[in-house]
Amino acid sequence: MQRRVQRYGLVPYVVLSGLVLAAAAWPKWPDSASSDVQFARDMSAHHTQAVTMSVTLLKRAADPAVKLLAQDIALTQQAQIGQMSGWLMAWGHPISGSEAPMAGMNPKEMGLATPDEVRQLNSLPVALAERQYLTLMRAHHRGGVAMAQSALNSVERPEVRAFAERTVVAQTSELRAIDALLAQRGQPPAPLPGDTAPMEPMNHE
């Protein structure tokens, strides 16, 4: 009996040891200055503008293809904002940091629309609003792809890396759809930063 107790008594010890080793091997929670935290905050802010523009066109667009694109972007990116906010809370960090999101980045290179351009989507005639939305969203997606590609050089958390990889694939696919919709309107997409030359890596450190 004593031998049996000793033998089974090893089981909790072995299980506990395995859990300790697994915890040690898993990446630690990132600190507030890490690339993972900065990427989550910056991309959330970037997504927020895309959601705002897309909700406007979801209400106003007459072209079913534009309406569907706006719906997909609004739903997908709002869900991703929630995902990134969840990471920050799990890591013990506030949603917003001490400095503004995307601080030090060039807004134009990141594809951010100006406040006036966003407001115009509410007042332009519908056909012009659709065209402006597609043009603005093309620039916006180009900036999002650049941000995600840059993050792949510095983030450490596996879930953040997987997210950035999916962002590059998904937004590149949506860019093709946007280009097709612009071509239907007789507007070949204008070259954007990064179309002919790679953008400089962004510093998230």
* The pLDDT value given to residue 191: 62
Give the pLDDT band of residue 24 (cuts 50, 70, 90). very low
d(CA 65, CA 72): 11
Burial of 23 from C-beta contacts in 10 A (0-12 / 13-18 / 19+): exposed
Residue scoring higher pLDDT (22 or 75): 75
Q: Which residues contact 51 (CB under 8 A, 6 or more apart)?
A: 73, 74, 77, 78, 81
* The pLDDT value given to residue 106: 77
pLDDT(19) > 50: no
* The pLDDT value given to residue 32: 80
Residue ranges in 91-125 assigned as alpha helix (H): 115-123
How distant, in Å, are the alpha carbons of 44, 110, 141, 150 from that of 177? 23, 20, 12, 23
Name the pTM for this structure. Answer: 0.78
Contact 41, 88 (CB under 8 A): yes
Burial of 117 from C-beta contacts in 10 A (0-12 / 13-18 / 19+): middle
List pLDDT tens digits, range 46-62.
Answer: 999 999 999 999 999 99
List pLDDT tens digits, range 77-116.
Answer: 999 999 999 999 999 999 887 677 667 777 888 899 999 9
Boundaries of every domain in the chain = 31-184
Q: Which fold, 31-184?
A: Ferritin (1.20.1260)
The DSSP letter of residue 99 is: S
Cα R_g (the chain), whole angstroms: 22
- The lowest-confidence range among 27-31, 83-87, 102-106, 130-134 is 102-106
Backbone angles phi, psi at 202, to 5 degrees: -90, 145
d(CA 42, CA 14): 42
